[in-house]
Amino acid sequence: MLINVLKTSDANEKQVTDETVYNQRRDILKSMGFIGASALLTSNSAQAGFFSSDDKETFKTRALDYAPANQLHSEALTPEEKIITHNNFYEFGTGKSDPVENAQQFDVNPWSLRVEGLAEDPFTLDYDELFKQFPLEERIYRMRCVEAWSMVVPWIGFSLAALLKKAKPLSSAKYVAFETLYDPKQMPGQKSRFAGGGIEYPYVEGLRIDEAMHPLTLLSVGLYGKTLPPQNGAPIRLVVPWKYGFKSIKSITRIRLTDKRPPTTWNILAASEYGFYANVNPTVDHPRWSQASERRISSAGLFSRNRIDTKMFNGYDQVASLYQGMDLRKHF
Amino acid sequence: MSVAYSFKLKPAHLPWLKLSIHLGALIPLVLTYYQAFSDQLGGDPVTALLHFTGLGAFKLLLLSLTITPLARTFKQGLLINVRRLLGLYSFAYAFAHLVSYVLFDLQLDWTLLLSEIIKRPYITVGFAAWLILFSLTLTSTKKAQRSLGRRWQTLHNFVYLAVSLVALHFLWSVKSGLAEPLIYMVMSAALLLYRRDKLQRLVTKRIKNGQKLKK
């Protein structure tokens, strides 16, 4: 076991990057050169502890060119090293710190994202096109996990709607189905049921077409100004901020327009606990735990009062009209 | 079973054995809490603490229940002397588990604690197991043993119920991936199976007592 004894000269969490400095980050990056800068920005004592214990190299992310979020988010961002070390990505192991430990060798280039199904113009994007085909923008979203913890993440990406419109969906397309890469050689969790938490792979997810076309629904290719690290779903992942985190499928290789409701991974595993919709809803508890409140993962440590009330649709009330007339207790 | 085994545990070995149990239980506990307080325990130190202390309590409980079979099989009667220590450390971990849950996870929201204990079966059984281990800890002294007389053994037989409840608590608490809790369940079952005669006697005695009361 490795213990980092913090010297008094070491920075503590409170001293990490001030917001104003963060907002100038792109200028700083430009002035410093990308590679050196990203190495500097990501190094801190906690992370050094994770990787210095072995010789494995950390996955290299690179700075992205994007339009910064134009509105300041009222909630504090979850620190980057928390976002990239606390992950549910069973393809790389079921523990929260397994993905950061097992995914660093993950090869994302070349990549192929196929958009197909009930569409006039199916197409495929390669790795470079993921970052160039659509203008990238930053969106600061709350991410609420079904396990009752949450984060605030500065994502970078583009609307799923923009991608789908490019394929020209047929009017018969009622749902969108997503699929994660299936590559047991690179993803140890896919090698056996035991390693992968009993899940059937590849991981699949789905949205109703109107949910998929909603302007909030994001395809993310980066966070905190850089490309996604593998543990967060590199090179491209879905982010549906009003739904529980497991809907936001990672490392997508296939998006298919369909007229039938597609099967979804957690629903297959336990239909009584995880529905197709999985909208964040404080009034519908998970059968085994309460969803009324959540713990916000922040920098403040063990004694922070970070238990907060969970909001309907994770606070994104603008999606309520999508579900008008539906019994959300039944369609959880 | 006759095992040709020359090693025999002597009274002089006991302090060393106990010392290694003290160190083996305390060092990981102190280190893990140090890492949690200095925010070196991954993205969510609260969950990490809960998993570590919960699993630690379970492991120590299983270890304490392994002592009797070990002592009998290898004819090391003196080994029984470390059983209580392991049991006490099991409760120490369980205590840290509950305190961390209330303090860091629920953050002293007592109404939420109460409703979780009532509404969530896995919390209910976990809390029941905690209460059993707590009462066993309170009555772990020689003095308590003397003053309780025959009732002491009756009370301490509840450890078999406790280990079953802990196994259930673990199984019900995971989101998926039943392999690990099932392995622990099998280990618990094996240790109970070793005591099947005793458990059978206990159960039939209960039933008879119940029938007597009805008459």
The count of structural domains within chain A is 1
For residues B1 and B196, which has the higher predicted lDDT (pLDDT)? B196
Alpha-carbon span A114 to A124, nearest angstrom: 4
Distance between CA atoms of residues B26 and B19, nearest Å:
10
Q: Which strand (E) or helix (H) includes residue B197?
A: helix B196-214
Q: What is the pLDDT of residue A46?
A: 41
**Subunit contact A295:B44, Cβ cutoff 8 A:** yes
CATH of the domain at A212: 3.90.420.10
Residues 108-127, chain B, touching A (beta carbon < 8 A): 109, 112, 115-116, 119-122
Mean pLDDT across chain B: 92
Peptide bond into A235 cis (omega under 30): yes
Cis peptide bond N-terminal to A262, omega within 30 = no
User: Which letter does DSSP use for residue B102 in this model?
Assistant: I
3-class DSSP string for B137-166: HHCCCHHHHHHHCHHHHHHHCCHHHHHHHH
* DSSP label of A323: G
Phi, psi of A112 (to 5 degrees): -140, 120
Name the residue ranges covered by the structural domains of chain B.
Answer: 11-204
What pLDDT does B204 receive? 86
Would A328 be classed as within a structural domain? no
Nearest to B25 by CA among B129, B75, B96, B116: B96
Question: Considering the domain boundaries, does residue A4 fall inside one?
Answer: no
Q: Provide the domain limits for residue A47.
A: 15-323
pLDDT in tens, B162-207: 999 999 999 999 887 788 999 999 999 999 999 999 999 988 887 7
Unique residue bearing structure tokens 């094996």? B190
Beta strands at A175-180 and A149-159: parallel, antiparallel or unpaired:
unpaired
Q: Is A237 known as a binding-site position?
A: yes
Compute the Cα dihedral for A223, A225, A231, A236 and give only its sign. positive
pLDDT of residue B143: 96
H/E element, A113: strand A112-117
Is the pLDDT at B20 greater than 80? The verdict is yes
Structural tokens at position A102: 């097992």
Of the given ranges (A69-83, B2-16, B62-76, B135-149), which has the lowest mean pLDDT? B2-16
Cα–Cα distance between A71 and A82 in angstroms, integer? 23
Residue of B nearest to A306 (CA): B107
Of all residues in chain A, the one with the smallest CA distance to B51 is A95
Please report residues of B whose CB lies closer than 8 A to that of A193.
179
Q: Which residues from chain A sit within 8 angstroms of residue B173, using beta carbons? A: 288
Instruction: Flag whether residue A198 sits within 8 Å of chain B, measured between CB atoms.
Output: yes
Angle at which helices B83-100 and B14-37 cross, to 10°: 10
Question: What is the structure's pLDDT at A55?
Answer: 53
Residue % of chain B over a pLDDT of 70: 96
In a domain, A331, yes or no: no
d(CA A152, CA A144): 9
Cβ B179–A194 below 8 Å, yes or no?
A: yes
DSSP B20-60: HHHHHHHHHHHHHHHHHHTT-S-S-HHHHHHHHHHHHHHHH
Give the pLDDT confidence score for residue A42 in this predicted structure. 38
When pLDDT is averaged across residues B9-35 and rounded to a whole number, the result is 96
Contact status of A11 with chain B (Cβ, < 8 Å):
no
Chain A CB within 8 Å of residue B183 CB: no
pLDDT of amino acid B57:
98
Please state the φ and ψ torsions of residue A102, each to the nearest 5 degrees: -100, -10
Find the DSSP H helices in A3-44.
19-23, 25-32, 34-42
pLDDT tens string, chain A, 332 residues long: the values are 556 555 545 555 544 555 555 555 545 444 444 333 333 333 343 444 444 445 568 999 999 999 999 777 789 999 999 999 999 999 999 989 999 999 999 999 999 999 999 999 999 999 999 999 999 999 999 999 999 999 999 999 999 999 999 999 999 999 999 999 999 999 999 998 777 888 899 999 999 999 999 999 999 999 999 999 999 999 999 999 999 999 999 999 999 999 999 999 999 999 999 999 999 999 999 988 889 999 999 876 787 778 999 999 999 999 999 999 999 999 99
Helix (H) or strand (E) holding B134: helix B121-138
- Whether A64 is in a domain gets the answer yes
Selection from A37, A7, A13 nearest residue A25 by Cα = A37
CB pairs under 8 A between A and B: 90
Task: Calculate how close chain B gets to A105, using CA atoms only, in Å.
Answer: 20
Q: Which residues have a Cβ under 8 Å from the Cβ of A109 and sit 6 or more positions away?
A: A127, A235
The H or E element spanning position A211 is helix A209-213
- Sign of torsion over alpha carbons A53, A56, A62, A68: negative
Task: Identify whether the C-beta of residue B25 lies closer than 8 Å to the C-beta of residue B92.
Answer: yes
ipTM: 0.80
Can you list the pairs that A48-53 forms with residues at least 24 positions away whose Cβ atoms lie under 8 Å?
Answer: A48/A4, A49/A2, A49/A4, A49/B40, A50/A85, A50/A97, A50/A100, A50/A101, A52/A2, A53/A2
Q: Which residue has the higher pLDDT, B211 or A133?
A: A133
A232 is in an annotated binding site: yes
Token pair 């043993």 is found at B145
The predicted pLDDT at position A202 comes to: 97
Cβ neighbours for A122, distance < 8 A, ≥ 6 positions apart:
A114, A115, A116, A167
